[in-house]
Amino acid sequence: MARSFPPPAARRWLYLIHRWIGVASCLLFLLWFLSGLVMLYVPYPALTDREALAGQPPIDWPKVHLPPREAEQLANLPEQPRAMRLEMMAGRPVWRVTGRGGELVTIDADTATPVRHVGRVEAVRIASAFGRAQVAAIEALERDQWTVAGRYDPHRPLWRATLEGPGGRAIYISSRTGAVMLDTDAHERFWNWLGAVPHWIYPTALRQHPEGWRQVVIWVAGPCVLAAITGMWIGLLRVRLGRRRFKDGRVTPYRGWMLWHHVAGLTGGVMLTFWIVSGWLSVDPGHFFRSEGPGEGAILRYERAKLPPIDVPGLDAVAPRQAVRLDVVRAAGLVLLEWRSSDRRLVVAAEGGRTLPNVSRLSKAARVLVPDGAAARVSSLTAPDFYWYDVGSEPHLPVLRLRFQDPSGTWLYLDPATGAVLSRIDRRGRVYRVAYDLLHRWDAIPLVINPPARRAWIWLFSIAGVVTSVSGVLLGWRRASRTIILLRLSVPPPSS
């Protein structure tokens, strides 16, 4: 006679673990499924590049008198800057210079004077110009729910300017540099209280402590992983598909809410288990997927190039009409000028010649970024691939993909027009792409390029998850109620 697996004692523990952990976890599952559906339509507030370009006014060239080389010298950084950008700020052109140690330097391109602080009056002018509306109210704040992330730390305190109008639009401005950091409206903020905030366990009081927030996510989601796995195990144990079925030929012994819980759990259980495990991996417990990118020295060697003399009238002459941004890009020993407007991009060589990047030059220069890798296999991508894509919008295309044969299996994605490194992903990163992104966000390329199909797929398994969660909450409540009643009946009445 074959022994049952798992043995009765282990099976009892399996049921107990799922029953009592499941009571709390089903409440969390329900919260996560419903909030995830909200996030499908209203993402967390962020300033996209398209929004930034649309909000910036055109560069006022008659006021630009400081060439980029002089701006770099005035920044007085210990190393060549990581980035240089020219744009307007409160009616005046400014150079924004970013150092390799995170230094942020803003220099007035008219008067050649550093901008060390942006006050209330100037913040009002910046917000009004960006939002094309008058400012109704402005306040200084250290952080709020929408600016709690660490990327805002170098810019604190922030100015929050509320614009006039019915949309409740708010513009957040750096008090250090005057750069617009975020643009939100009342619609985004309302739905994110029902979406990203509960889904990510993201209240300001917790999220402002990054490691504390990370540990909370790990220890809240961890038991939910256990509940999902034990639930799938029990669900399979309680199915009879062969001849030995339950009464009336049923494949499940349950009825009522237990039947709904069993069937929905089996139908969406595999996806639910993948989803909760991948969500747990979103904060990378144990840092299993952490990888080291190219060292700062290697990046500097790839980008190092001396700025040539550039006269400001010459810049004006080649700038496209209504240009709102000029980036000085250094890569592969070249210096390039990248002009942007809301609907156009133009890249020219800084020295006025025709020396622009090509595939051969970029692939050879990029070797310094992966010094222990053999020559790269180069592909030119004109459509997204599994590791270069964007959900909800088109990714930067075309791109060059360089696949190196180094111990880490490094892949680089480069902008063929400028040589800028757009992304780096190694073997661990590619595993994480599957373990988290694919299994949690369902962003396989066929679904990414067909948003209605992706939304239908997510709705399908979310409905199964909601039914599993609601039925689990009701069953758990019934079980707990019966337990409380039995405990009360077992307590003898007090003696008179």
- Position 328 in a domain: no
383 vs 449: CA distance, rounded Å: 10
Q: What are phi and psi of 330, to 5 degrees?
A: -120, 125
Q: What is the pLDDT of residue 491?
A: 65
306 vs 334: CA distance, rounded Å: 8
Q: What is the pLDDT of residue 342?
A: 86
Q: Does the predicted TM-score (pTM) go above 0.75?
A: yes
- Position 357 in a domain: no
- Position 394 in a domain: no
pLDDT tens, per residue, the chain with 496 residues: 445 667 777 777 777 778 778 778 888 989 999 999 999 999 999 999 999 999 999 999 999 999 999 999 999 999 999 999 999 999 999 999 999 999 999 999 999 999 999 999 999 999 999 999 999 999 999 999 999 999 999 999 999 999 999 899 999 999 999 999 999 999 999 999 999 999 999 999 999 999 999 999 999 888 888 888 888 888 888 888 777 787 777 888 888 888 888 888 888 778 888 888 898 888 888 788 887 777 788 899 999 988 988 888 878 888 888 899 999 999 998 999 999 998 899 999 887 666 788 999 999 999 999 987 777 799 999 999 999 999 988 899 999 999 998 888 999 999 999 999 999 999 999 999 999 999 999 999 999 999 999 999 999 989 988 988 888 888 877 877 776 676 667 766 666 5
- Position 384 in a domain: no
Residue type, 60: D
- Position 217 in a domain: no
Number of domains in the chain: 1
Tell me the three-class secondary structure of 14-79, residue by residue. HHHHHHHHHHHHHHHHHHHHHHHHHHCCCCCCCCCHHHHHHHCCCCCHHHCCCCHHHHHHHHCCCC
Closest CA to 57 of 343, 323, 313, 317: 323
Closest CA to 169 of 215, 218, 132: 132
Tokens for 433, please give them.
């792409």
- Position 164 in a domain: yes
Question: Which range of residues forms the domain containing residue 128?
Answer: 49-199
Q: What is the pLDDT of residue 36?
A: 95
Report whether 335 contacts 329 (CB < 8 A): yes
- Position 437 in a domain: no
